[in-house]
Structure 1
Amino acid sequence: MGRVAVVLPPREGFATGAVGAIGLQVAALAGADDVIVGPPPAGASLLPGHEYRPVRPGLWPPGGRGLRYAAAVARALRDIAPAVVEVHNRPDIAHYIARHHPGQKVLLVLHNDPQGMRGADTPALRAGLLARMAVVCVSGWVRQRFVAGLPDSAGRQVGLSPNGVELPPVVPPQSARGRVVLFAGRVVADKGADLFVAACERLRPDHPDWRFEMIGADRFRGDAPVTPFVSALAPRARAAGVEMTGYRPHADVLDAMARAAIVVVPSRWPEPFGLTALEAMAAGAALIAAPTGGLPEVVGDGGILCAPEPVAGLARAIGALVDDVTARDSLAARGRAGAARFSVDHARARRAAQRLAALRGGGG
């Protein structure tokens, strides 16, 4: 098919100590001919095994940093000469490239709610994107948000390209795992970090032999700022017996999931996909997740879907698994089977098919 230029959002890391979910997925699904285009790494080594082209916004054109980043990407594409440009999560940048490189095939991959994105927040703008490029979404929920307000025919134009996960060949059974309930993710209100702490506060008196852990920070990097939310949560977590370990590299998070008995994803906001939940399922943990956004698609019957508010219900759901190793075993087995539907190999094949479709049509 030729080279594919994969364009990261302007604030997305691609380094060992600073990488988020989009960067991890780009690395996992990258093909041999891919060139990753993104911001310069901030003092850390790049993820290995990839050709990376850093771009730095210049002074032209006048405007915000996003516009200048898009212009810098467009200039870099002249040297790369890709068959397809795959832009992640930035409709405005994809539109800029399509407009300034007439004839260039562009594939826009959406990881979040497009109705909250610059360049896609109205039906007219989303229809305009479909006229210029191919569009795929990581979940049916994101896809529904994109086609809302568009003619029925638009639904047939928007593809589905789910995220993927490496499925470890062997994971420890529940009987060999630590008595640990784990939260892993950004420590922000949207992710329900405070709800996890409140649930643990209720559980700890009756389960003194269990540990409650929280991995994460405000952002996906080691130097993440200590925000007012994190500062306020820390003393509550200590009082509830929750150990806050801060940011950890992705490999450490996966190791923790493989050791934990239970992983909780208590998100308040509608998760567009729910990669943390998928990783927990693949790692053999018993999963409890919120029933919003794309999470029900990913979790299926491989986890317990439980609204995180009121927190008393979340605490009861966790407590029921804490008290029942047989239920945890059964849930973990279903989770592993469900995670296999989202294997990296499957995700790569789906993305490759979408790229080929973009090359053959998809605007431009």
Structure 2
Amino acid sequence: MRIVQLNPYYYPYKGGIERRLHEICRRLSKKHEMIVLTSQLKDTELEEEMDGYTIKRLPSKFYTNYNPPHVSTPGVLQALNDLEPDLVDFHYRWAPSYTKAMKSYGGKWVFTFHNTYGEGQGPMRYLSTMNDFFFCQMIRDKNVICVSDFVKNDLISRDFKEENLDVIPTGVDFVTDSGKDENFILFVGRLVKTKGLSTLIEAMKNVDCKLVIAGTGPEEELLRSMVGKYDLTDKVEFTGYVDEETKTRLMTTCSAFVMPSVFESLGLAAEEALAHCKPVIASRVGGLPEVVGNAGILIPPKEPQALSDAINAVMVDKELRDNLISNTKTQIQKYNWDNIVNDLEAVYLKNIENNSQS
């Protein structure tokens, strides 16, 4: 098979979608021709070979300083037609030039639904909901790959047919070395409202251990001001952006990982923490209960007292903590990359065969 993964962004930009595509392509390239079709980021080649698969980049224009920036890519439809793939897996629903191309594309394609429907807060949630409403009209009769049961069930509630929906989560590599516990809790991710970090800062008023926040984003200034307001500068450390090596060191040495999100379609950072044998304290929202299972503590979102109680319990109760750590090893097996890619290949083959018969 020749399979094209279509996404506006790709390496060297490394978000959750991009990492998923790399893991899928490098594994499936042993049996199939895998191509990533994307925009051309600065200082990248129009075509590149990577780990057995091909990256084809199209000249593009980028707007705003948002991460990732808004993009316009002419020529997506022509590139797809020239490639003549057996199947296209489309991954991103907020880039109009890509959506327009897929609306006109006559070949076989599926869509992977990575994020919660209508995700966001304030005006962004309104815009996101409007975009998703119209986009879902376009994919209603397509096979949709959902990254969690939560996403699948949410789409069923929006009148998608269950038989058109497959759940294929994003995986993670298991880490055998859990590292030396250095008695701090960790958050890694973008500093945006949907991550619930203001609740976490407020909860830290009643927590004795240190919190490390790794990442950048538009909420950083507000969060820093909250730390100053609550006199928590000795308890809360902002690292800013961290590279993979630093992130791994933080993951391997933290006592627990905290993810107090308001929205979360899956919870990839929580997966990574479990892969490092770390208990996870997370909001009971979206796909997080599926990811955490019995390897952590789930609390209601936006409740600082419940969050501080959970953090204190994990940090103080050694028996509880040891049980959670033991459970991580079983829980993370659900997200083994090789099993995930095998399931995805079966979905791709099913779509090609069904479309061939129709």
Q: 1:136 aligns with which of 142, 145, 149?
A: 145
Q: Tell me, yes or no, if structure 1 residue 349 matches structure 2 residue 346.
A: no
Alignment of 1:150-189 (within 5 A): 150=159, 154-172=161-179, 176-189=180-193
Partner of 1:221: none
Partners of 1:190 and 1:352 lie apart in 2 by 32
Q: 1:289 aligns with which of 282, 286, 289?
A: 282
Alignment length (residue pairs): 332
Partner of 2:233: 239
Pairwise CA distance, 1:242? 0.7
Partner of 2:36: 36
Partners of 1:253 and 1:299 lie apart in 2 by 20
Pairwise CA distance, 1:199? 1.9
Q: Tell me, yes or no, if structure 1 residue 87 matches structure 2 residue 87.
A: no
Q: % of aligned pairs identical?
A: 23
Q: Deviations over 1:120-167 (max 9, x none)?
A: 416xx6354243x3211101111122222427xx11111111111111
Residues 227, 179 of structure 1: alpha-carbon distance in 2 compared, 3 angstrom cutoff: closer
Gaps of 5+ in 2: 62-68, 119-127
Residues 356, 110 of structure 1: alpha-carbon distance in 2 compared, 3 angstrom cutoff: same
* DSSP-derived class of the 1:288 partner: strand
* DSSP-derived class of the 1:14 partner: coil
Residues 171, 192 of structure 1: alpha-carbon distance in 2 compared, 3 angstrom cutoff: same
Q: Deviations over 1:96-128 (max 9, x none)?
A: 4444332x1101001012454666416xx6354
Is this contact kept in 1: 2:192–2:219, CA < 8 A?
no
Q: Deviations over 1:54-78 (max 9, x none)?
A: 12347xxxxxx98953x52222223
Is this contact kept in 2: 1:201–1:240, CA < 8 A?
no
Q: Tell me, yes or no, if structure 1 residue 270 matches structure 2 residue 263.
A: yes
Higher relative contact order structure (alpha carbons within 8 Å, sequence separation ≥ 6):
1
Is this contact kept in 2: 1:234–1:244, CA < 8 A?
no
* DSSP-derived class of the 2:202 partner: helix
Partners of 1:67 and 1:13 lie apart in 2 by 12
Q: 1:126 aligns with which of 136, 140, 163?
A: 136
Q: Tell me, yes or no, if structure 1 residue 25 matches structure 2 residue 20.
A: yes
Pairwise CA distance, 1:216? 0.8
Partners of 2:176 and 2:200 lie apart in 1 by 30
Partners of 2:72 and 2:169 lie apart in 1 by 30
Residues 93, 302 of structure 1: alpha-carbon distance in 2 compared, 3 angstrom cutoff: farther
Paired amino acid for 1:88: H
Pairwise CA distance, 1:305? 0.5
Pairwise CA distance, 1:5? 1.1
Pairwise CA distance, 1:250? 3.6
